[in-house]
Structure 1
């Protein structure tokens, strides 16, 4: 069993960015996430960078997103989207699938599982 104080300590920025790239690769290619994908623009590069910046800080690393945008509140950027339980669950499922695809160690997956769900649940607006 590994002993990490934070997911950032285990994954480093490069591992978090790999996770985000894999998350969007799966979302972009899997029919399971077609509705979730349709909520995004055709070019995923900007949102991928934003989520990477956010997750680096959220997982215990440098606060890149906060420095760029002055806030880490996620409800504002998601206001224009209709996000209910179905959308939340699809996002969470896609993120879990990305963690499995990258074969993250079980300690890191367990460290992230509940917080990832709570993060997605926090942006629900219907």
Structure 2
């Protein structure tokens, strides 16, 4: 029996889309995420679309980002932005709330949170 991918476990494309939408809704509205919101363009649609495509493949679903843009090169793409521990922690907290809000099961949410943290930590490019 094949183990289900995280993409399948959370509910596939529809839930990844809801997760991405909720992430950006929270980021735009919650004062505690103002630091990471300021790093994004006024119109969040392009960022939202890229995160959706990235998460699709990252979670084990269709590799939409790679098909459209090539290798994610996450660290290189994020180098223009000053990312320290505070920005990492804001991003992870925002994603944690988004996962809770869309109803991702607690055990899976915890596993994803560890992976999200590791990826966000890898994006850090400055101290502090």
- 2:27 — aligned with what? 27
Aligned equivalents of 2:72, 2:40: Cα separation in 1: 20
- CA–CA distance in 2 between the matches of 1:71 and 1:56? 14
Distance 1:64 1:86 in 2: 29
Pairing 1:50–2:64 present: no
Name stretches of at least 5 consecutive residues in structure 1 with no aligned partner.
none
The residue number in structure 2 matching 1:10 is 9
Gaps of 5+ in 2: none
Structure 1 residue 108, shift from structure 2 partner: 2.2
Q: Distance in 2 between matches of 1:6 and 1:118?
A: 19
Which residues in structure 2 correspond to 1:32-111 (within 5 Å)?
A: 32-111=32-111
Judge which range, 105-114 or 90-99, deviates more: 105-114
TM-score, normalising length from structure 1? 0.92
Distance 1:87 1:72 in 2: 20
Kindly tell me: are residues 44 and 50 of structure 1, through their superposed partners in 2, closer, same or farther at Cα, counting changes over 3 Å? same
Residue 72 of structure 1, CA deviation: 2.0
